[in-house]
Structures are given as C-alpha cells and as structure tokens.
Amino acid sequence: MTGRVAVYALTPQGARLGRALARELNGALGAELYLPRKLADPGEKAFDSLPMLVADTFHTYAGHVFVAAIGIVVRAVAPHLLGKSRDPAVVALDQDGRHVVSLLSGHLGGANELARRVAQVTGGTPVITTATDTAGLPSLDMLARDSGLAIENLDAVKTVNGGLLAGQVVQVFDPEGHLAIPPEHGARFEWVAAPHLLEPERPAVAVSWREVSVPSGTLILRPRVVVAGVGCRKGAGAAEVVSLLHEIFAAKAVALKSLALLASIDVKRDEPGLLEAARELGVDIQFYPAERLAGVKTPNPSPMPLKHVGVESVCEAAALLAAGTTRLLVPKMKSKTVTAALALAS
C-alpha cells in the first residue's frame, strides 16, 4: 500500500509495541503514533478519547494500525465507513504482536499487505481472511490495482472472484494487454479477441478505454490512457469544463474513467475553474509554457488563442504534448467559454 499510516495503542505494553511499529513503518510509509495522554511522552501525539480521535483521523490516513482488541477497533471505525472503494486499510493486533488481523479494506485499501508488513516487524502471524488469498488465488481488484486500471463496476469483482473460487476459467477481453496476470495463474484465464465473444454464463473481464457492449456481470476495467487538453476564457467555471468533457467522452464512446490527466497552458495555472475541474474528476493537471505548445502541430489552429495567450492552439497542443503523440483521439470541441480535445497516451 502507499500513503501515511496512523498507529494507535492503548496500554503500556501496547505503547512500547506501537512506538516500535511507528519507527519501522515511518521510513517506508510515513507513520504517526497516537497514545492515551497518560502514556504519551513529551512530543508524542496524545488523545483523551479513541472514538473522537478516529472521527478526525479515519479518512486522513491511507492505513490505520491498532494495537488493541478488535471489538474496540470495530466500534471506533464503524461510524465512518463509506464503502470498500473509499475506506482506508485497518489492521488490528494484540499487544504481544502475535496475531496481526487484516480487518478492513484488505484488497483495495491494502490492509492485507499492511498486515503482512506489520507481522514482519512483530514476528507475528498475519491473519488474512479474504477468500481469494486463503485459496491462493489472484483477486481481480488487486490485479486491477497493480495494473493501474480503474474499476468501473466494483460489484462485478465479487462475481469474477467467485468464479475463480468455483474453479471456472475467467474470460478476458484485453486487446491492448493492460491487465497483468501472474504467469502461475495464467491457466485460470482465457483471452478472447472481441467483446461479443464473451459468453454470458461465464465470468468475464473487459479491459478497454472505449465503451464496449459486454454481457451483464462482466467486470469492466479502464486503463488510464486518455489525456484531455483544455483551454478556457478567464473565469470559466469548473461545471462548464466538466460538462464539456462529459459530453465529449459520451459522444465519442470513450470511457470517462480512462481519463488520466488534464493539460493546458501555464498562464491558466491559477484558473480556479480548471483546478476545481481536475479535483472533481480525480486527476492531475499539467501546464505547459506557450513556447512548447507553439511547437506542436495541430489540425485546428485559431487566431483567438493567439491573440489572448500567444499560441494558435491550447487544448489540442496540450493534449498531444501531454500524451506524447502526434495524433488526436478527438479534435477540438467547444462550449461557450471552454475548449477541449482528447489524445491517447503513447
């Protein structure tokens, strides 16, 4: 897993173990230790109420390690659960470090991995209860994460994993080879050449940045390979940027979850509408100086951006430059104050 980890302990013996864990995890992940006020040394983070503390910290850390009884942990975190795609990893262990339980978000949140890492520090046993792990099988949500793929329909993970557990061979439509499957599990997957060849009665996975028609229950994975170049007038709102991109993706049958990046000209670096649109879409935004954009050949140059920002193209040039390609997936489209173009990362 990646991201910061919070470590909590409640007893004197647990505090000693918590300090050791925080030291060991800090180098790899960035760890912070929380202790009851009566146990905290000067400079350590102290708390008076664990439930009140967890209310503040739960969604600010990627993972939580509790040296505490599982019942206490469950009661502390339960009010803050949002769903398996959004909850952080939660691990609980006894104060001797003998049993390290992956309690919540074992796959997507990385709790299984975190439990194994903690157990290495304590010399204890990681307790992993997710079915695919106990059966020694790959889990599709983990394969998707490790392959850098976005899951479009999370509920379908259960269907495909269930098929693996039942001994079925999973069909895979992945024409560009984005889904990395460990060689030792290759026999459990069967590749098909087209989405219409997926058999409805069998578990299936479709990997594509295009909107494709697949049988109900197929797990749909999206490679993040589409770059959107965006230009706008001063003061353009985030809603207009997002609306135009939704319109373009839908009109051209491109999956919005395959959006990897927004790109624009650096004079728009502080444009609130662009920055908020990137946050709303869950992607980064890259800005380029005018001289770099001016060197990119585009199909639809215009005198308007040349007049205002010094280049004949913003959205098309930024999309091509950020994607590292010379061909647009979707040429410039525009709304009242926003322009956008799409390119496929090379």
What is the percent of the chain with per-residue pLDDT over 90, rounded to a whole number? 89
Task: Parse the chain into domains and list their residue ranges.
Answer: 5-129, 140-223, 226-344
pLDDT: which is higher, 338 or 28: 338
Closest CA to 15 of 93, 70, 67, 77: 67
Question: Which pLDDT band holds residue 71 (cuts at 50, 70, 90)?
Answer: very high
Digit-coded pLDDT (tens) for 201-260 = 999 999 999 999 999 999 999 999 999 999 999 999 999 999 999 999 999 999 999 999
* Confidence at residue 309, expressed as pLDDT on a 0 to 100 scale: 76
Q: Write down the CATH superfamily of domain 226-344.
A: CobE/GbiG C-terminal domain (3.30.420.180)
- Which CATH entry fits the domain spanning 140-223: 3.10.450, 3.90.550, 3.30.70, 3.40.1390? 3.40.1390
Largest CA-CA distance found in the chain, in angstroms, rounded: 71
Output the average pLDDT for the chain.
94
According to CATH, what is the number of the domain 5-129?
3.40.50.11220
Digit-coded pLDDT (tens) for 295-342 = 999 999 888 767 777 788 999 999 999 999 999 999 999 999 999 999
Q: Taking the model in full, what pTM does it have?
A: 0.83
Digit-coded pLDDT (tens) for 112-160 = 999 999 999 999 999 999 888 888 988 999 999 999 999 999 999 999 9
Q: Which residues contact 228 (CB under 8 A, 6 or more apart)?
A: 245, 248, 259, 261, 262, 263, 319, 340, 341, 342
Res. 1: pLDDT tops 80: no
